[in-house]
Amino acid sequence: MPITPFHFGPGALLASAAPGRISWTVFALANVLIDLEPVGLYFLIGDPAHPWLHTVPGALAVAVLAALAGRRPCEAFLRWWNSRLSPGQARWLWMRPGIPSASAWAGALLGTLSHVGLDAFMHGDVRILWPLQEANPLVGRIDLGVLHAGCVIAGVAGIAILAIRRRRAGGKR
């Protein structure tokens, strides 16, 4: 993906399909953490390369970091988010600030592994199956417009599912 937010769409769909079981905030954090690699390399060497973290072992290492060290900051972010909402906004936008450990792990693992999977379709230097395979067998298998549209559609569907659930619950938390 050209920018991390495209990855958030599939996360919204996954989290809305399994409410309380997948932390979307940890999912998002894991995606940001994994993309620090190409962003950092871009500023250091001028090339947004994907050498280490965009492999399954690298993604798993980032998932461990996001699940263990990211859970509390994500909870703090959710408390801050909730504190900024008006009563009308809170009816629809309030988020449970507590993140169970299993939800953090699910968000972190799904975030990093889906990130690497999606990027493998787009970037030839992603070696998703390293160290077992150096080549990227997925690059170019999906049209980039279709890939991006799929991520956006997944996000819209996830938000729609959340809105329908809130509406049926009468906006109750």
**Residue 121 CB partners (closer than 8 Å, separation 6+):** 138, 139, 140, 141, 142, 147
Pick the closest to residue 58 from 43, 36, 27, 74 (CA basis). 36
Both structure tokens of 42: 């871009």
Q: Check residue 166 and give its pLDDT.
A: 84
Residue 173 domain-assigned? no
Q: Check residue 78 and give its pLDDT.
A: 97
Q: What is the DSSP letter of 67?
A: H
Residues in the chain, pLDDT under 50:
none
Domain count, the chain: 1
Q: Check residue 57 and give its pLDDT.
A: 97
Residue 151 domain-assigned? yes
- What are the b/e assignments for 3-33, b being 16+ CB within 10 Å? ebebbbbbbbbbbbeeeeebbbbbbbbbbbb
Q: Check residue 173 and give its pLDDT.
A: 56
Q: Where are the alpha helices (DSSP H) in the chain?
A: 5-17, 24-34, 36-45, 56-69, 71-83, 87-93, 101-122, 144-168
Q: Check residue 157 and give its pLDDT.
A: 97
Q: Check residue 167 and give its pLDDT.
A: 84
For residues 4 and 32, give the distance between their C-alpha atoms in angstroms, rounded to a whole number: 6
Model pTM score: 0.91
**Residue 127 CB partners (closer than 8 Å, separation 6+):** 50, 51, 54, 55, 133, 134, 135, 136
Pick the closest to residue 67 from 6, 19, 110, 15 (CA basis). 110
Q: Check residue 109 and give its pLDDT.
A: 98
Q: Could you list the residue range(s) of the whole structural domain that residue 23 is in?
A: 5-168
**Residue 129 CB partners (closer than 8 Å, separation 6+):** 55, 56, 137
Residue 30 domain-assigned? yes
Rg (CA), the chain: 17
